[in-house]
Amino acid sequence: MRDSVVGRLTELAQEDQRIILITGDLGFGVLNEYREKCADQFINAGVAEQNMTGVATGMALEGMIVFTYSIGNFPTLRCLEQIRNDACYHNANVKILAVGGGFSYGQLGMSHHATEDLSIMRALPNMQVIAPSDPWQARLAVDFLVEHPGPCYLRIDKSGAGLEPPEEGGFTAGKARVLSEGSDIAIIGAGGILAECIEAADGLKGAGVSAGVIEMATVKPVDVDAILAAARRVPVIVTVEEHSVIGGLGGAVAEVLAEHGCPARLVRIGLPDVYSSVVGSQEYLRNYYAMDAAAIVQRTKAAVAA
């Protein structure tokens, strides 16, 4: 997904000299082609994410389309004040590229586990939050980021849902994609962990539970109409995210259901209110923290039986 995003950004930057990429001293292998082809549109700010974001905002206010780039928490949490006070407050054309969402860098420990970013970025006024599920969709999201005036957060991870791109569309900001419809459960997922949602829906079918899957690649603005339509179809909605269950996709869906008085029961699957102190691969940590397909099946069957 990372290579797809940078590849598309390289193509667009050659066509539009307003596009600037600033890295926080990371990504040299994947950024080599961009740096070679767009040398005047590339800056290495060093291990100085606050400064990186301040520079990005200044350049954006002068008419540039500026992308900041780093791993998970570094271009978000480490420079949150600058994102809030500089980029978002001024509605500057700053795009944050965070590679390694969720447990992508699971072996490096909790400092590299991006498990609060969706909720924090979603809380910022003017910020749009996007978590694509496949490389081809991430490319489409880059096109949107370049065209959309204002702050955006693009969260990409090392996994993918394994879906083929449709002949038309595949990503529209603020719009969900209904991959399948069920009569008992609607599973809503964002990011590469959508693969676990699809596998879980297939497993539930064998257990006599009709489960549909909805992809919510845009976490903010969330697709209110799609959530309400699902709540009218099924009695239970399950959200799945490689992120804390507090404030992210599950929080966004809960807000919609509560504000509209929907009777559908909500089950949030993700990291509980703990630090992810265990170290391991992305697959291992999904299993350990009960957010893989098997755990989704178990939680969903229990919700249906309740």
Domain annotation covers residue 170: no
**Residue written as token pair 């400064």:** 51
Residues 199 and 228 in one domain: yes
Per-residue burial over 88-125, b if 16 or more Cβ lie within 10 Å, else e, is bebebbbbbbbbbbbbbbbeeeeebbbbbbbbbbbebe
Does residue 163 lie in a domain region? no
Query: What does the block give as tokens for 265?
Result: 């029961």
Q: Identify whether residues 150 and 187 lie together within a single domain.
A: no
Q: How confident is the model at residue 93, as a pLDDT? A: 98
Q: Determine the Cα–Cα distance for residues 223 and 273; give it in Å rounded to an integer.
A: 25
Tens of each residue's pLDDT in the chain, 306 residues: 999 999 999 999 999 999 999 999 988 889 999 999 999 999 999 999 999 999 999 999 999 999 999 998 999 999 999 999 999 999 999 999 999 999 999 999 999 999 999 999 999 999 999 999 999 999 999 999 999 999 999 999 999 999 999 888 889 999 999 999 999 999 999 999 999 999 999 999 999 999 999 999 999 999 999 999 999 999 999 999 999 999 999 999 999 999 999 999 999 999 999 999 999 999 999 999 999 999 999 999 999 987
Considering the domain architecture, whether residues 142 and 210 belong to the same structural domain is answered as no
The parent domain of residue 73 ranges over 2-156
Q: What is the pLDDT of residue 42?
A: 98
One domain, residues 301 and 184 = yes
> Is residue 165 situated within a structural domain?
no
The pLDDT assigned to 306 comes to: 79
Question: Do residues 204 and 283 both lie within one domain?
Answer: yes
Same domain, 81 and 130: yes
pTM here is: 0.96
CATH number at residue 195: 3.40.50.920
Does some domain include residue 171? no
- 168 found inside a domain: no
Q: Could you tell me if 52 and 98 lie in one domain?
A: yes
pLDDT of amino acid 167: 83
Angstrom distance (rounded) from CA 298 to CA 99:
30
Same domain, 152 and 181: no
The domain boundary, picked from 123, 156, 189, lies at 156
Same domain flag for 9 and 141: yes
Query: Do both 119 and 17 map to the same domain?
Result: yes
26: domain CATH number is: 3.40.50.970
Same domain, 244 and 150: no
Number of independent structural domains in the chain: 2
Residues 104, 69: one domain?
yes
> CA 43 to CA 35: how far, in whole Å?
9
